[in-house]
Amino acid sequence: MGSGADFDLFKISDEHRMLRDVTRQMVEDKIVPFAAAVDEEARFPQEAYDAMRELDLHAPHIPEEYEGSGADALATCIVIEEVARGCVSSSLIPAVNKLGTVPVLLAASEEIKRKYLPPVARGEQMFAYGLSEREAGSDTAGMTCQAIADGDYFVLNGHKAWITNAGVSEYYTVMAVTDPDGRRGANVTAFIVEKSDEGFTFGAKEKKMGIQGSPTRELHFENCRIPNDRVVGKVGEGLKIALATLDHTRITIGAQAVGVAQGALDAAVKYVQQREQFGKSISTFQGVQFMLADMAMELEAARQLVYVAAAKSERNDKDLSFFGAAAKCFASDVAEKVTSDAVQLLGGAGYTRDFPVERMMRDAKITQIYEGTNQIQRIVMARQLLK
């Protein structure tokens, strides 16, 4: 873990500022108008996907050599933050495209990269990530999904649970046990599974508290034959690849949390300036002002931590594990508090669907859970400190 004395951690360039402005305008014009309907109807935010593809914001992290925009980690976080400010479900499009493809970028052969990354970069396909199972959430090494070698193939059997954007994504990075008798954690391999593969099906959509516009389903594998050339990295290194991926992608969940918190704060500030009680604007009351000050202060601290972590991700710093976990954990805790306080500031109005803050509060909760619960993040941080 770093000492914290390195002041050259990140820099917001003119290009980053321009990207923020362009993304924010797109969100206001083409995502916010549909956000409530996407939540109410629990449907994939196609309008948002189309709008992001027009500006190459659906998977901005993919390098230029694979037909992508080549956005750095901070730029990708800015995109996700700005989209989440208007609609968290929509922000899962670039976030999960990154989650699914980072294992490929980190460990796959050049052949796999050139086959699977360009269609995602062009906006023709989406990528998802299959690690968790019903009985193997925080305990990822306890997975039971197996892929047994059979000549030129691996035969995949089992399930994956809580898979974001399942069904709408064409490609899936899936972790499975390839040596059932091998050492726990060193017997997992990463594969690319295609939606059209025989023996690969989906469970029903989960009925969730929030992120209603992002389909969450199980992946089911029944004698699903995967060619050997779709192994990502080396056989037996799947869990190592999965955990290295999360070091980078947890930061995007921090960015998502910052975005939804900012959206809630914006709504609260606007409301308290318009709402009158006792003959004056409630924004003049000290109790309200103190709540807003705390919300803004904690949000800005979260943003700075996420941006520092993004810079470390770009450089692949040795203390990335700590900062990735810290950014995700702190920002999501802040998002849960800020969105709850926003509902409180709007009072009875905030509890209704006439205003977006109740949706934001429901959506924010998941950021404390997925890509590792915040309890797991604290374990990750402590282990780094105690090394």
| Residue 237 DSSP class | B
Q: Which helix (H) or strand (E) holds 339?
A: helix 320-346
Task: Report the distance separating Cα 381 and Cα 368, nearest Å.
Answer: 15
Task: Report the distance separating Cα 2 and Cα 5, nearest Å.
Answer: 8
What single-letter amino acid sits at 370? Answer: Y
Task: Report the distance separating Cα 292 and Cα 269, nearest Å.
Answer: 7
Q: In the chain, count of helices (H) and strands (E)? A: 11, 10
Q: 270 CB contacts (<8 Å, ≥6 apart)?
A: none
Paired tokens of 1: 């873990």
Angle between helices 238-274 and 73-86 (to 10 degrees): 50
Task: Report the distance separating Cα 256 and Cα 265, nearest Å.
Answer: 14
Closest CA to 322 of 379, 364, 371, 281: 379
Give the position of tokens 């037996």: 236
Q: How many CB atoms lie within 10 A of CB 340?
A: 18
What single-letter amino acid sits at 11? Answer: K
Paired tokens of 341: 């306080």
Give the position of tokens 């029903």: 204
Q: How many CB atoms lie within 10 A of CB 380?
A: 21
Please count the CA atoms within 13 angstroms of the CA of 60 that sit on its side-chain side. Answer: 26
Q: Respond yes or no: is residue 371 known to be catalytic.
A: yes
Closest CA to 333 of 290, 272, 278, 375: 375
Task: Report the distance separating Cα 16 and Cα 106, nearest Å.
Answer: 24
Give the position of tokens 């730029």: 75
What single-letter amino acid sits at 356? Answer: P
Catalytic residue among 133, 336, 358, 371: 371
| Residue 138 DSSP class | S
Catalytic residues: 371
